[in-house]
Structures are given as structure tokens and as C-alpha cells.
Structure 1
């Protein structure tokens, strides 16, 4: 395994861990502020939009080999 392959694999794992941690932070924020169903939906919706945008960006960049 080359250094570049190791680095790419490690980066994907760290980003997945960061996303899971952000879900925990948003869940804790919604619970502590008693945001309710709509407020929780808005908070998680915004987080999910960011995650989906990151995934789409990663797919597009990988598909076209760069910028």
C-alpha cells in the first residue's frame, strides 16, 4: 500500500467520524434546546444537505479526475 492510498483511506475514515460526531452534536443541541419535531427536522435537514453536498462533490471530482 502506497502512502497516497493510506492517506486517502485514512482521510475517508476521519471524515466519516467527523460526520458521525456532527450528528451527535446536532442531536444533543436539539435535545437540550427542546427544539421539537420541526426544529429537529430543520437542524438535521441542514446537516444532511451538507453531507449530501460533500458526497456529490467527492463523486464528481473522482469521476472527472480533478477539477
Structure 2
């Protein structure tokens, strides 16, 4: 939650919004979180959406952490 813990997000280099597969079930609108993050960081930092359970976005997270070979 960017609004609740904004200092953590402000001082981090990367943000990952995981569990995208259950967003609807728990009543979370990912676009609100993405928008909050963009406002907080001035749109300079990127937030990565992922669903580890489904394997979606995992490669993007790994690449952002510099763990994938080019």
C-alpha cells in the first residue's frame, strides 16, 4: 500500500505489485496503486506487476534486479 507506507516506496529502487491474480477477489484496484506510485515517485521509478503463482511478470522482476543474463 503506497499510501500507507509511502516512505518505503519513496526510498526503494524497485517496486513489485505481486499477487495480481487475486486483486479482484480481495477488492484491490492495481491501477490505483500504480497511479499512487507514479505520483509519489514523479513517474521516474517503475513498478512491476506480477503473479508469481501464474509465472507472470517474474522475468521482469528478475531482469530489474539484474539477475538475468543479457
The structure whose Rg is larger is: 1
* Bigger helix share: 1
The higher-RCO structure (CA 8 Å, 6+ apart) is 2
* Bigger strand share: 2
TM-score when scaled to structure 1? 0.28
